[in-house]
C-alpha cells in the first residue's frame, strides 16, 4: 500500500486482513514525554512549535522512537482554522486557549471566511510534507481537524467552557447565525483536510470533542450534518491509494448508526461505549477505533495488560479494529505505562487474526 513498510493501520481501517490489531494513541506526541517537553521549551510556545515544521516533525516522531506504534499523527492543534480566521488565538497557562475576538453575532459570523490553505495555513501543510518525508514509509501519517461544532464552541465561547452557555444560547435563539458559522467551518475543514491529503496525510480524523454535550436532535442538526458534509467533500483517494476517514465524537456512542451512515470508513469510540455492542451495531459497515479509558494508564502495567486483553476479547476475531485510548493520553502518565499498553496490544492481538 503506497510503499509502506507497515500498512496494518490503513488495512484495518478498510477492514482488510491484518496480522495483528494496529495501535496508536491520541496525543501520543505530547506532555507525558520528557523529550516533548524539551522540544516545546526550545520552540518557545505551543503555537511556535506547531508553526515550526522541523520541530513539529521532531515531536511527531518521538513516540515512534520509543514504542512499536502503527501510525504517526500530525503534531498540530484543532484551533488552527479559527486562528487563521483572525480571531486572536492565544494560550494562557492554566486557562487553555482564549480568542480575543469571539464570534457572538451574525455580523461577526459574516466576517468569517475559508482561510487560504497555501498561505494562512501553509505551515500545517509544510509540517505534513516534512513529517511524511521523514517517516520514509515507516508507518502511515494521520492528518486531522476539529469538527465544525467543536471549533464553533471555542469561537463563540471565546475559549474553553464547562457549560457551553454562549454557543447553546446562540443555537436555541439564533440558529441561523450558528448555521452560518458551521457552514463556513465545514467548507474550511474540507479544504484543510484535502490540503493535508495533497501534502502527504494517508488517513484523516475529525475530532468532534464536544458533540456529546448536545441533545440527540441538536447533535444531528448542528454536528453530524456538518461532519457528513465533510465526508462528502473529502478526497477519498490520492495517487491511486484510498484515504480512510475516521469520525470521532466523544460521548457519541448512542449515535454510531447515524455516524456510520455518513460514509466514513471508521468511527472512534470513547471508553463509555462497549466495543462488543458497538461492533454488533455497526461493525460490518465501518471499522472501530478505541477504546481503553485513558485513566487506565495510571494503573499498574499488569492491570493495563488485563484491560487490553479484555477489550481485544470484547471486539473479537477479525479485522476492522484499531486499538486506541478512548480519548487523549493524560500528561501525567508514566511513559513506561504507555509502553505496557502498546506492547500488550502487539503481543496479545495476533491470536484474533489467525485464519
342 contacts 308 by C-beta, under 8 angstroms: no
Active site (annotated) includes residue 77? yes
Q: Is 127 known as a binding-site position? A: no
> Cell digits for 73?
499523527
Q: Is 77 known as a binding-site position? A: yes
DSSP state of 262: T
The one catalytic residue among 77, 108, 218, 293: 77
C-alpha torsion 227→229→231→235, nearest 10 = -140
Q: Is 122 known as a binding-site position? A: no
Q: Is 29 known as a binding-site position? A: yes
> Cell digits for 162?
464547562
Active site (annotated) includes residue 31? yes
Q: Is 80 known as a binding-site position? A: no
Active site (annotated) includes residue 27? yes
Q: Is 302 known as a binding-site position? A: no
Distance in angstroms (rounded) separating the CA atoms of residues 166 and 164: 6
108: nearest Cα among 180, 166, 54: 180
The one catalytic residue among 40, 236, 285, 339: 40
Distance in angstroms (rounded) separating the CA atoms of residues 140 and 73: 8
What are the start-end ranges of the H helices in 23-102?
Answer: 34-43, 46-51, 53-66, 80-84
Distance in angstroms (rounded) separating the CA atoms of residues 170 and 181: 11
The one catalytic residue among 31, 138, 281, 303: 31
Distance in angstroms (rounded) separating the CA atoms of residues 227 and 219: 11
Q: Is 31 known as a binding-site position? A: yes
Q: Is 303 known as a binding-site position? A: no
The one catalytic residue among 20, 27, 51, 104: 27
The one catalytic residue among 154, 219, 226, 315: 154
Q: Is 183 known as a binding-site position? A: no
Residue ranges for the known binding site are 27-31, 77, 154, 209, 327
Q: Which residues are catalytic?
A: 27, 31, 40, 77, 154
Binding site feature residues for substrate = 27-31, 77, 154, 209, 327
Amino acid at each position: 500500500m503506497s510503499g509502506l513498510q507497515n500498512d496494518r493501520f490503513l488495512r484495518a481501517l478498510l477492514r482488510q486482513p491484518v496480522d495483528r490489531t494496529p495501535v496508536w494513541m491520541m496525543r501520543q506526541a505530547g506532555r507525558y514525554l520528557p523529550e516533548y517537553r524539551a522540544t516545546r521549551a526550545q520552540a518557545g510556545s505551543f503555537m511556535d512549535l506547531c508553526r515550526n515544521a522541523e520541530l513539529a516533525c521532531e515531536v511527531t516522531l518521538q513516540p515512534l522512537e520509543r514504542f512499536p506504534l502503527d501510525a504517526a499523527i500530525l503534531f498540530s492543534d484543532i484551533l488552527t482554522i479559527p486562528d487563521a480566521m483572525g480571531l486572536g488565538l492565544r494560550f494562557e497557562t492554566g486557562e487553555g486557549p482564549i480568542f480575543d475576538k469571539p464570534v457572538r453575532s451574525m455580523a461577526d459570523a459574516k466576517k468569517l471566511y475559508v482561510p487560504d490553505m497555501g498561505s494562512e495555513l501553509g505551515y500545517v501543510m509544510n509540517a505534513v510534507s516534512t513529517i511524511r518525508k521523514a517517516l520514509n514509509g515507516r508507518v502511515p501519517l494521520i492528518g486531522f481537524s476539529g469538527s465544525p461544532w467543536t471549533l464553533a464552541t471555542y469561537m463563540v465561547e471565546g475559549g474553553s467552557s464547562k457549560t457551553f452557555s454562549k454557543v447553546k444560547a446562540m443555537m436555541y435563539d439564533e440558529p441561523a447565525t450558528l448555521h452560518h458559522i458551521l457552514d463556513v467551518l465545514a467548507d474550511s475543514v474540507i479544504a484543510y483536510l484535502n490540503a493535508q491529503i495533497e501534502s502527504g496525510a494517508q488517513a484523516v480524523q475529525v475530532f468532534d470533542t464536544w458533540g456529546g454535550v448536545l441533545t440527540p436532535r441538536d447533535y444531528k442538526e448542528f454536528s453530524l450534518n456538518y461532519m457528513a458534509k465533510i465526508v462528502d467533500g473529502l478526497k477519498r483517494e490520492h495517487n491511486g491509494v484510498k484515504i480512510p476517514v475516521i469520525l470521532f465524537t466523544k460521548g457519541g456512542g448512542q449515535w454510531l448508526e447515524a455516524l456510520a451512515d455518513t460514509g466514513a470508513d471508521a468511527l472512534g469510540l470513547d471508553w463509555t461505549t462497549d466495543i462488543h455492542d458497538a461492533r454488533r451495531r455497526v461493525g460490518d459497515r465501518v471499522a472501530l477505533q478505541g477504546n481503553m479509558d485513558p485513566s487506565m494508564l495510571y494503573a499498574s502495567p499488569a492491570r493495563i495488560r488485563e484491560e487490553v486483553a479484555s477489550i481485544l476479547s470484547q471486539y473479537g476475531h477479525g479485522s476492522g479494529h484499531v486499538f486506541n485510548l478512548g480519548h487523549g493520553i493524560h500528561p501525567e502518565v508514566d511513559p513506561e505505562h504507555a509502553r505496557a499498553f502498546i506492547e500488550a496490544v502487539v503481543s496479545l492481538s495476533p491470536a484474533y487474526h489467525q485464519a
